[in-house]
Amino acid sequence: MTEYRIEEDSMGPIKVPANAYYGAQTQRAVENFPISGWRLRLPLIHAMGMVKLGCGTANNDLERLTKTGEKPLSDEQVAAMLEACEEVASGKLDNEFPVDVFQTGSGTSSNMNVNEVISNRAMEILGGTLSKPKKADEKEIDPNDHVNMGQSTNDTFPTAIHVAVACEIKNRLLPALRRLADAFRQKGKEWDKIIKTGRTHLMDATPLRLGQEFSGFARQLELSADRAQLALEAVLELPVGGTAVGTGINAHPELGGRVAKFLAEKLKIPFVEAVNHFEANAQRDGLVSSHGHLRTIASTLFNVANNIRWIASGPRCGFAEVQLPSRQPGSSIMPGKVNPVMSESMMQVAARVMGNDQAIVISGASGGQFQLNIMMPMMGHTTLESIDLLASSCEAFVDFCVTDMKANEKHCGAGVEQSLSMCTSLTPLIGYKKAAEIAKKAHKSGKTVRQVCKEEKILDEETLKEALDPWRMTEPQA
């Protein structure tokens, strides 16, 4: 049987698991929100620890912790509190955050969860027990009065969301997108001499080189990385310092700026204090904007993955211009069948992220009134999910698809001469109307454009050879 201790908050006593670092308010949230079983994503928990560290450091530097309040903390107590903050930020206490994502819309339950964990862990560091200081006459390190000093959930929770999103974009998504871009760029160089049939509207078009096609994929990923950077920049303003409604009540006037500077230096990301705390507390437009860029990245990845799925179709009766690495059996009934599973995985990820964006947009537009948005836990969780999915999908696509992808030069070249769009290069020489007639005759007779031109002596041999040179068609001509 689970052992409990009795904790109290402003609503009275409640049973809390005996060994839990969290306290009464966290336990109430656990009981109130048995909704999804999804806890806040760990990057957000770690960011909350980092924000608490920044606030505690700033309050200590401003002598708010040691020289104000009913009974100020000692230097030793402050050091223990900051050490506990660092433990939350570094992931040492990850199991202590059980509150469901779908909780109070400001994130108060999770903010107090963090405050309680830091409070109790700090007292333990000092030799006390959970919820009790070492000495009977010593003031406890209080989750509200000390850990949450000069703060409100309404400014620190969205600050933590911004910090977590920026860190995950910087440390995970940007490297993953750039790595995928590099992988495509390398394939583009390797396959620059392979000519294939272009396709528009799924129909035959003029020739291009397989390397050129993959250079296009690489550029799409380069631009996606640029958009990820914009997504990061959209969350650089931090609401901390605005407290409950943006006025900064109970906070030192320098707190917001000091915390933003602390986080910028610590995390090597140029965070700044919000220009206007009323906007920063009430609106989540920066997060909406940030996720909008993630949606565009998802759209790009869907497109690239689907294109590769198409050009790899086969292996005998499709385009089969590239051969994908075999990752697993593709059918429970058709022996030997292998499917483009990495493309399909990425396309599902992209669809999920695009769906997530709708949730973020709705939450930003109508999730709050007056001075507070009340959809923040879901918005933070969902944005971090999107970043995680996009980054993981890009990494897997490089490792399990692009790196070992092979070009099928024979299949690429087989259809080039048969394409009716070969007549496009004749247009400057004989005009569009005449070239169209040749294409129609070739299609009706089953002959190539070259054969029809030779039979009808459209051009002399040397001019025709140059005009219908597939390689020449892959680049502009002076």
Just list the catalytic residues: 201, 331
Indicate the DSSP class of residue 318. Answer: S
DSSP β-bridge partners for residue 102: none
Chain mean position to CA 367:
22
- CB 117 within 8 Å of CB 148: no
Instruction: Give CA torsion, residues 94, 95, 98, 102, to 10 deg.
Output: 40
Sequence-distant (6+) residues with CB within 8 A of 245 are 154, 278, 281, 282, 371, 372
Q: How many CA atoms lie within 13 A of 291 on its CB side?
A: 30
Which residue has 């509150």 as its token pair? Answer: 99
Indicate the DSSP class of residue 455. Answer: H
DSSP states along 371-416: TEES-HHHHHHHHHHHHHHHHHHHHHHIIIIITT-EE-HHHHHHTT
Distance CA 363, CA 40 (A): 17
The two structure tokens encoding residue 366: 């109508």
Chain mean position to CA 461:
57
Distance CA 9, CA 25 (A): 7
CA of 391: how far to CAs of 220, 380, 447, in Å?
15, 17, 48
Within 253-403, strands assigned E span 272-273, 322-323, 368-369, 372-373
